[in-house]
A and B are shown apart, each in its own frame.
Chain A
């Protein structure tokens, strides 16, 4: 892992809310190599979502540096391009646009890379097929199950073929079969395209499929371990 190129480097990242009373991230350090599958675990409220949002440049840290694909986000001028092309983010809530169909939702990020309408539609169809939603492109979010919505969100995150996929409990609301299917898909994308995956989860079975498990507590990374040998140990460890 150490000889591979780092795609995410976070050093001493602090993010506080409510005038400093809530420190969602409190000196978080994280390094992710290209093609790696990292699972982030930790109790609710420990800052996992905030971590992903900062890597996706939806917000700026109060201190520390975040370098994605060699670019320091603090100096990045075109954050839109970063959000549209460098990373794909699957939110904890699916965050689909309710008035648009599944296919249209998947097409939304493609406007930013200037694809013509026909190509947008074709690509959305391919992506929906990839997440197992062929034939559901015309359905609106309200006409889909929670799991299906989450898969549409996954297809949208992959719309512009980002190198890094950030997924915030993407399998949380899926039954185990669809959850497995999503993980298989991520596996396949990693193999075929070298996709880097940072995935937040509560599910030990999901975390066990990762190359590495990162445990968070109170806004810090408290433990990092290779998945299989460390899986049992990390549960016992207290920092």
Chain B
């Protein structure tokens, strides 16, 4: 019999209790993993916006609660383009519209000259011409989910557009949405003369970090975002996702630890006499400690595996909802599972600490007389 075998035996003696504890912790881990996958995917989708047109970084309104609320004047956009260290500055207006059953249809208003200077990869048709009021380019995903192709027409917020081209960028928001001329988007959003963000490509040889710092210095009303980590600067949504994620993890740890503590405390309590016997035949306090902590760790690691599996299934299930599918592509990155594992280990250690301490403190004779 190995030490590990002994631990498994100890856990197996109260199958129902062990099973229910594992179930409880698994559900906690499921929440942590599923939430991690979904927020991670949302952030990565959000991060894709930064790369629009292959820019180095994005400039948005300082302190805007959400990127969609960000407003940058076209003058500022031109001023940015005129900077000596900037190669190209493209202002774009984002507008979220309902199209068909999709309430998150992403309409991007772009200037024809920007499209011409930096054309998207087309899978069909052509780009729209300057001042083509009723022409639209559709992302490949949008075209296929709407079931339309070049020459067909689509209705976006009561405006009829004819589809002139289909593009593919590999970025979820854009491929699930449409490009319309900037003026059209400004009219749809009732935001004349402004854009949501400006995408900056620096001159060759310039350091994007230095350029971004220079822009923030010269335009106190603007904020530069180079990576998803900085997204919180303008997007409360991302900040809230992070905070919610952390809160759920802390909650999962707290609830899980109490559950494990309850289970382990009961199990130690029931085995008082046996622990006395182990002490009497020479087991050290350290070995008793190792036994209890190992039992707790095994419980939680099994839960981590089960919870991760359930978490993946849960995200798959959520993706059956159309709306969600248009917003995110699930990303099962290792860090989400590592977080689940860390939660499990913390739960195991926190939950076992007190029962193990009690077990070690038992005097052998006291324990042996316990009925």
| A interface residues (Cβ-Cβ under 8 A, vs B) | 53, 56, 58-59, 80-85, 89, 91, 95-100, 103-104, 107-109, 111-112, 117, 120-121, 156, 159-160
In this assembly, does B323 line the interface, its C-beta being within 8 Å of a C-beta of chain A? no
**Residue with the greatest number of chain A CB neighbours at <10 A, chosen from B10, B280, B364:** B280
> Interface on chain A toward B: helix, strand, loop, or mixed SS?
helix
A58-B364, A111-B287 given as contacts; is B281 within 8 A of A84 (CB)? yes
The size of the chain B interface, using a CB distance under 8 A, is: 22
Q: Scan residues 324-370 of chain B and give those whose CB is less than 8 A from a CB of chain A.
A: 363-365, 368
B280 pairs with A58, CB closer than 8 A: yes
Q: A103 CA to B283 CA in the complex, in Å?
A: 17
Q: Looking at the complex, which one of A80, A89, A99, A159 makes contact with B283 (CB distance below 8 Å)?
A: A80
In this assembly, does B277 line the interface, its C-beta being within 8 Å of a C-beta of chain A? yes
Q: A107 CA to B368 CA in the complex, in Å?
A: 20
Of chain A, the residue at the smallest CB distance from B281 is A109
Q: A82 CA to B285 CA in the complex, in Å?
A: 14
Q: Looking at the complex, which one of A95, A98, A107, A112 makes contact with B282 (CB distance below 8 Å)?
A: A112
B282 pairs with A81, CB closer than 8 A: yes
Name 22 A/B residue pairs within 8 A (Cβ), A-sorted: A58-B280, A58-B365, A80-B285, A81-B282, A82-B282, A84-B281, A89-B280, A95-B277, A96-B277, A97-B277, A97-B278, A100-B1, A100-B9, A104-B6, A107-B1, A109-B283, A111-B3, A111-B287, A112-B283, A117-B2, A120-B1, A160-B282
Q: Which residues of B contact A81 (CB under 8 A)?
A: 282
B368 to chain A, nearest CB (A): 7
In this assembly, does B76 line the interface, its C-beta being within 8 Å of a C-beta of chain A? no
B281 pairs with A108, CB closer than 8 A: yes
> Interface on chain B toward A: helix, strand, loop, or mixed SS?
helix
B368 pairs with A112, CB closer than 8 A: no
**Residue with the greatest number of chain B CB neighbours at <10 A, chosen from A91, A100, A159:** A100
Q: A82 CA to B278 CA in the complex, in Å?
A: 14
Q: A6 CA to B285 CA in the complex, in Å?
A: 30
Q: A37 CA to B10 CA in the complex, in Å?
A: 38
A80 pairs with B364, CB closer than 8 A: no
B280 pairs with A112, CB closer than 8 A: no
Q: A104 CA to B281 CA in the complex, in Å?
A: 13
Q: A187 CA to B260 CA in the complex, in Å?
A: 50
Q: Which residues of B contact A108 (CB under 8 A)?
A: 278, 281, 283
In this assembly, does B13 line the interface, its C-beta being within 8 Å of a C-beta of chain A? yes
A53 pairs with B3, CB closer than 8 A: no
15 other A-B residue contacts (CB within 8 Å) besides A80-B282, A111-B3 = A58-B364, A58-B365, A59-B363, A80-B283, A82-B282, A84-B281, A89-B281, A95-B280, A95-B368, A97-B274, A104-B6, A109-B283, A111-B283, A112-B284, A121-B1
